[in-house]
Structure 1
Amino acid sequence: MRVRALRSPLSWLAAVLAVGLLAGCGGASEASGKPAGPSIPNCGVEVPTGTPPARVFAAFHNAIEAVYALGAGDKVVGAAYLDNQLLPEYAAQFTAASYYPEEYPSREEVLRLDPDFVVSGFTGAYTAEGLGTRAELNKIGIGSYLFTQYCPSADGKDQKDLAGNDVSLDSVYGDLTDLGRVLGKTAEARALVEKMKKTVAGTESKLAGVTRPRVAMLNRPGGGELRVFGTGDVATTIIEKAGGTQAFGDVPGRLTRIGTEELIKRRPDVIVVPACCGAGVGPSGAQEVIDGLRKDPALANVPAVRDGRIYAVTFAEVTPGVRNADAVARLAKLLHPEKF
């Protein structure tokens, strides 16, 4: 769950020289520098919005689907990697892209695809161990965008060193709007954001006066320790918009380790398990974890387990991106079926 590192390159210098010769890198500024033309700020980096990129590499599920949702799927030359099944409306077009399902490709492999822009849903792509910092990519003529809920404290930092970021849906809407400007898809971004806002508003309008259940969103990768989606994450926003209360409101971060005793102590009314990871994984991918929770005698008196209120969703739904509004609507129906 977002803990894999990109493979080390055989020769970063050789790759830089190769792309520099192909793309021409004269005059490229540092990532933190101000481009000559119009631009938008993104995690401390100014991203040009003049000429749209022609060849896009998309890293992580939320970035991949965002590019397709904005109508720029024909620009995707490569992608890595999907948490779940791609939305059906993008699947046919996606097959034309070079896809790396098991692990991130090396720098050399990405550069071989000759992208002029990289969109990433998580910060791990832009590190010295990954594709390189955004400043390094910019020097060789490759622009970049990062979903802002994963802005690091400085360019090149990884997911363990995030800035104090906005984890509301407004942040998601802002990313889609800004990415639409960068990709030359402003109208498409506006329509997408308005549709998402309408879905959320329609859901919230049905939840006035409801009693809010305590919701724990968690997983157990590989059958090991429990990991909870805590505060400082869009998952909490989705829970709250759907008429729930975050059961782990004082636990920071995404996929923070907790003990069984802590889950018992919190007594959640509902447990939500996001299924992950792989291009063929749907909600049923959470079944093994759900079965384990149901059969654990230590959890028998936890209200969610006792009352059979453990539900499967997908990891892609609770990651900042185009699925978040539908995730709110879907979770609200699970929490408050009497309202729908």
Structure 2
Amino acid sequence: MHKKSLSSSGHFPGFLSGGILSLTLTATALLSPLQAAADPVTVPSCNRQVTFDTPPKAAVSNDVNLTEMMLVLGLRDRMVGYTGISGWKTLDEKMRDGVAELPELSEKYPTKEVLIGADADFYFAGWNYGMKVGGEVTPETLTPFDIKVYELTESCIHIGEKNKVTMQDMYNDLLNLGAIFGVEEKAKTLVSEYKTELSNFEKGLKKPANPLRVFVYDSGEDKPFTAGRYAMPTAIIEAAGGTNIMDDFDKSWATVGWEAVVDRNPEVVVIVNYGNVTAEQKIAYMKNNPAFANIDAVKNERFVVLEYVEATPGPRNIEAVKKLATAFYGS
């Protein structure tokens, strides 16, 4: 979630470490040769089909998690920059290394002029992850400038109907990027490894008959900004053996009333860490507010922190599942 732009949206990137997926961004991985696409490639992007006659050579990604997807596929040498990171968050060490040679073209959402000025031929973004419905930068507004757009799958709910979020949404983006850039086999291998790692982990996870009730607290005090049934944390929580108390909230990232949170009485609160308000401050706000005193998670001080990049679609989602499962059940 960048600070998502319903209320705006933002989040962090990184690379999985540990397990069979120790994906270190070495110079060799980042500069691996791209397979030339012999034929045009067409991929689905939300409600569109987008055709690429050749792999993009001057790509721009928005937000940390989308940028990390590009990097983990070894596509840095096909990028001319990235946008939408420093305006909301600070890069961790791994991310700084990954983008060391790339310029940040815009601290927040880019304008058309920014993308045109960079001679971009590809923009990887999402709705409320670098684009706004009816905004200045959309697939339609960039078409006259020969800048093709691939939209983050999780974000498609903002422009039409979509199935409930699953881990497949993240896999789908990696596979489509692999096809677009001619690194399809690398993407397939990566996704296969992710699926295997998650499957092996879930086999050893002792899930209770009644999954823990979990609330995602992104930001906001008057009204909390949270994850509904279309936002990635719902899939991560379910994979970890819990259930999002806002699973029936027919939104992606959006605000709800605190009354609904109190009524549904979460047993665990997942804090999304990014921005000017720290995770510790968010926890303190809930613990010190008398209105939340009877919430099980508050009474038992059961809070777990996910970095923005773990809570939004991207390579760190598998580690996020493990982190939550450990916090939920000590697995």
TM-score (structure 1 length as normaliser)? 0.79
- Counterpart of 1:97? 102
- Counterpart of 2:285? 292
2:262 aligned residue (245, 264, 267):
264
Q: Distance in 2 between matches of 1:3 and 1:71?
A: 29
- Counterpart of 1:239? 237
Residues 62 and 121 in structure 1, CA contact (< 8 A), matched pair in contact too: no
- Which amino acid is 2:311 matched to? V
- Counterpart of 1:111? 116
- Counterpart of 1:324? 317
Q: Distance in 1 between matches of 2:132 and 2:56?
A: 18
Q: 1:4 to 1:56 in 2, by over 3 A?
A: farther
> Higher relative contact order at CA 8 Å, sep ≥6: structure 1 or structure 2?
2
Q: 1:296 to 1:137 in 2, by over 3 A?
A: same
Q: Distance in 2 between matches of 1:62 and 1:122?
A: 14
- Which amino acid is 2:126 matched to? G
Residues 214 and 244 in structure 1, CA contact (< 8 A), matched pair in contact too: yes
Q: 1:244 to 1:209 in 2, by over 3 A?
A: closer
Residues 72 and 185 in structure 1, CA contact (< 8 A), matched pair in contact too: no
| Identical pairs, percent | 27
2:148 is equivalent to residue 143 of structure 1: yes
Q: Distance in 2 between matches of 1:136 and 1:226?
A: 33
TM-score (structure 2 length as normaliser)? 0.81
Q: 1:98 to 1:165 in 2, by over 3 A?
A: farther
> Higher mean Cα deviation, 197-206 or 65-74?
197-206
- Secondary structure of 2:283's aligned partner: helix
2:66 is equivalent to residue 68 of structure 1: no
Residues 65 and 86 in structure 1, CA contact (< 8 A), matched pair in contact too: no
2:194 is equivalent to residue 189 of structure 1: no
Give the alignment of 1:110-259 within 5 angstroms.
110-122=115-127, 125=131, 127-131=133-137, 133-151=138-156, 159=158, 161-211=159-209, 212-221=211-220, 223-259=221-257
> What is the deviation of 1:304?
0.3
- Which amino acid is 1:56 matched to? A
Q: Distance in 1 between matches of 2:320 and 2:67?
A: 18
More strand by share: 2
After superposition, what is the alpha-carbon deviation per residue over 1:253-305, rounded to whole angstroms, capped at 9, x for unaligned? 1333223322221111100010123xxx8xx9321111100111121121100
1:3 aligned residue (5, 19, 30):
5
- Which amino acid is 2:216 matched to? M
- Which amino acid is 2:56 matched to? P
> What is the deviation of 1:56?
0.5
- Which amino acid is 1:2 matched to? K
- Secondary structure of 1:151's aligned partner: helix
- Secondary structure of 1:40's aligned partner: strand
Residues 139 and 149 in structure 2, CA contact (< 8 A), matched pair in contact too: yes
Q: 1:235 to 1:111 in 2, by over 3 A?
A: same
Q: 1:80 to 1:225 in 2, by over 3 A?
A: same
- Counterpart of 1:40? 43
Q: What is the RMSD of the two structures over their aligned residues, measured on CA atoms?
A: 2.5
Runs in 1 of length 4+ with deviation above 3 angstroms?
Answer: 83-90, 121-124
Q: 1:325 to 1:335 in 2, by over 3 A?
A: same
Q: Distance in 2 between matches of 1:54 and 1:121?
A: 20
> Higher mean Cα deviation, 246-255 or 57-66?
246-255
Q: Which has the larger radius of gyration?
A: 1
Consecutive unaligned residues of structure 2, counting only runs of 5 or more, are 9-38
- Secondary structure of 1:164's aligned partner: coil
- Secondary structure of 2:74's aligned partner: coil
Q: 1:225 to 1:169 in 2, by over 3 A?
A: same
Q: How many residues align?
A: 295
Q: Distance in 2 between matches of 1:5 and 1:336?
A: 33
Q: Distance in 2 between matches of 1:298 and 1:126?
A: 35
